[in-house]
Amino acid sequence: MKISAVIFDLDGVIVSTDEYHYKAWKSISDQEKIYFDREINERLRGVSRMESLAIILSHSSKSYSEKEKQLLAQRKNDIYCELLNKLSPNDILPGVINLLVSLKARDIKVAIGSSSKNTPFILKQIGLTSNFDAVADGNSIKNSKPDPEVFLLAAEILGVPPEECAVIEDAQAGIDAAKAAEMKAVGIGSAANCLNADMKLSDLTNLDIDQLLEVNEIRS
């Protein structure tokens, strides 16, 4: 099956926001006197805001009401958005622009499939708002990765069957979501270790576009 659309995760694939997420969650954890470190932060990759909070609160002996959880998530997001104000096109990760240009030249559709509700703001900050044919994000889905909903929605907006889509991801939850959607899964960065990724790369600068699009595959 030839690939006719590529769906990009946003955080960790298009732009590195990890440090901002870490700083914002660290600030909330410190205020609440909850243990939090970079290893726990890794588990938040690709996971929704409220599910991330649940992972953090699992390290506390205190029980939080729904209202308190909503307030903590809001406080975290306020700190995170303040940090996102610093984001600029210089923060686009290596290989992204070249890949977008190459895909456009081959008439391959491109989409964002992200769990983040801040997707529109991040795309604006890095100047890529009008570079995608579809955006599916945390604002338009009920179930976060590893559920396939966000990628299936992106494919539906593009009008491309899931099996013709390739997903580029930096999180195990995202690779699992892509496979659940029956899409090709490309793991980069920390997802390069995912056993179920179809292609594994350290970053997008060494991506073989023919291999991504399966143009050399002998079709029956």
Q: Which residues are catalytic?
A: 9, 11
Report, in Å, the least distance between residue 12 CB and Mg ion.
4
Report, in Å, the least distance between residue 81 CB and ligand BG6.
8
Q: Find, among 45, 126, 47, the residue nearest to 93 by Cα.
A: 126
77 binds ligand BG6 (CB under 6 A): yes
Q: What is the dihedral of CA 187, 88, 53, 188, to 10 degrees?
A: 10
136, interface contact from ligand BG6, Mg ion, none, CB < 5-8 Å by kind: none
Among 6, 7, 11, 134, binds Mg ion (CB under 5 A): 11
Contact criterion met (CB below 8 Å) for 187 and 194: yes
Q: What is the number of other CB atoms lying within 10 angstroms of the CB of residue 160?
A: 22
Window contacting Mg ion (CB under 5 A); options: 1-9, 102-110, 134-142, 193-201 = 1-9
Q: What is the number of other CB atoms lying within 10 angstroms of the CB of residue 195?
A: 8
149 binds Mg ion (CB under 5 A): no
CA–CA gap between residue 46 and residue 141 (Å, rounded): 14
Report, in Å, the least distance between residue 82 CB and ligand BG6.
13
Rg, C-alpha atoms of the chain:
17
113, interface contact from Mg ion, ligand BG6, none, CB < 5-8 Å by kind: none
Contacts to ligand BG6 from residues 45-64, by CB under 6 A: 45-49, 52
Q: Find, among 87, 85, 69, the residue nearest to 28 by Cα.
A: 69
Contact positions vs ligand BG6 (CB under 6 A): 10-11, 21, 44-49, 52, 77, 114-118, 138
Contact positions vs Mg ion (CB under 5 A): 9, 11-12, 46, 170-171
